[in-house]
Amino acid sequence: MARELRTDGTTIDLEAGVTPTTLGWVLDPGDVTVVLEELATVFYRHGWNSWSPTGWAPLDESPVRIWGDDDRRLTADDAANDRPDRHEGNGVGAVELGDGRILLLGALGLGTPRVGSDGSSLWGTVETTDGGGWFLGTGPEDAVFARYAELLRERLGTPTAEPVDTMWCSWYSFFEDIDAERMTGAVDGLGDLPFDVVQMDDGWEEIVGDWDPNAGFPDGLAPIARRIADRGSRPGLWLAPFICLPGSRVVAEHPDWLVQDPTGGPMVAGHNWDSHYFALDTTLPAVQEHLERVIRDVVGWGFRYLKLDFMYAGGLPGVRHQDLPRERVYRDAVELIRRAAGPDVYLLGCGVPMIPSVGVFDGVRVGPDTASDWTRPGTVEDPSHEGGLNAVTASLARWWMRDLYQVDPDVAYFRTVHTTLTPEQRQHTVDIAAVCAFRSTSDPDEWLVADERAGLADFLRAQPTVLRTGRDQFTVDGREVDFRPVVREVRVGRERLTES
């Protein structure tokens, strides 16, 4: 039965299992309900993984979630716990109180915690008590979120690799159309631009699940890594070690390595590459050995920055060799990867469960993929949908997580070819990168004209001073950066969804 606390926004009756702390209270593990004396009207919903819908929304509007696409929901949120009829998310949630303060309820460990509100209460539930209880905090928004992050760091740890300053990646220019010649040309084309990391994305492997270089890289990947290192950058590589496509060798040769569906057969873990894909059972010793070998191989090729994608698949519910809480399974597998890579290799998580990744990842993608378009059909119904608008607004909503790991808002655009972004929209991608202190681009040199190349160089060499002046407002070196019109664009769309 849930422990019930009562608040008028100022005091809380301290019951058994409740310990006072700075800006709030630490609650023991288990379900909890906080009854509000004053009706709340706005709720902060936090999604499960990198792409999951996240943000503040009025409680009388449609919940922030993925609407009308079950396949996408499996990939980009916690589909097992999704509820279309209420405002609820994963890990942490908050409501605004009448005097401008917030009341936050955040999990301090694992256990697949959920937090929701109906305006009259703020509740938290867990699948298992495999965690550190809850933080219930009240006060100014920035201070309460910062205190929550501090408590998470104390329990789950901090990053170990050297932070990333600037990065170039191949994805938003070449996508999967890469080979040794194209990558060599792209690296050489960067000239003397100060990229801390140069990362090769998807397209180098034989097939997702079989992590050997394909025929486009006849000499392997080590020469590419050396070329990147020779220009003074950290070599980076994309892979998705927890998943495998149906046509991969690992599926054909080791069907027993796959997480099983309770109804029989391998469990479908998500959809991409015009296919479904499966998840590896990381509780199996043979799979653990496989993961260690893959990571040691790519590090041995010379890569010092690994973008690990679709990682949520390691924490989906399913039948495994060992029956353990699913976020514990995920965390154990990522810790195995960390040990195999070593503490100095930078791990960037994409599609990762956000709270269970604290302390093992150095950086995390905090929103959906951006795109060379600002919006696409389905942007409102699916806030995890790729596009500049969704990427910027999700990154704003998770800006507070910069105290846990580096927050990656995805790339900034400077080019005016192969994009429909307006100058104002391109500036939004540049500004969110500066605000998040993670500056990256995919623009190849040959796509840039002189003033665009100069703008990129200034962006990379700058060390801006950023101050937050409001929930969606900042100054960057004294220049006002106001994202409120961007957030309003999303809210207007959600209001239309509510009306329909």
* Location of structure tokens 């100014």: 140
Instruction: Say if CB 394 and CB 379 are below 8 A apart.
Output: no
Closest CA to 312 of 279, 352, 350: 352
77, 309, 382, 472: the active-site residue: 309
Amino acid sitting at position 438: F
CA gap 347, 236 in Å, rounded: 10
CA atoms in the 13 A half-sphere facing the CB of 47: 32
Closest CA to 349 of 332, 336, 367: 367
Burial class (CB in 10 A: 0-12, 13-18, 19+), 276: middle
Closest CA to 53 of 404, 426, 438, 391: 391
Amino acid sitting at position 168: W
202, 210, 369, 443: the active-site residue: 369
Buried b (16+ CB within 10 A) or exposed e, 89-112: bbbbbbbbbeeebbbbbbbbbbbb
Instruction: Establish whether 142 is a catalytic residue.
Output: no
3-state secondary structure string across 22-67: CCEEEECCCCEEEEECCCCCEEEECCCECCCCCEEEECCCCCCCCC
Instruction: Establish whether 309 is a catalytic residue.
Output: yes
CA gap 334, 437 in Å, rounded: 25
As annotated, the active-site residues are: 309, 369
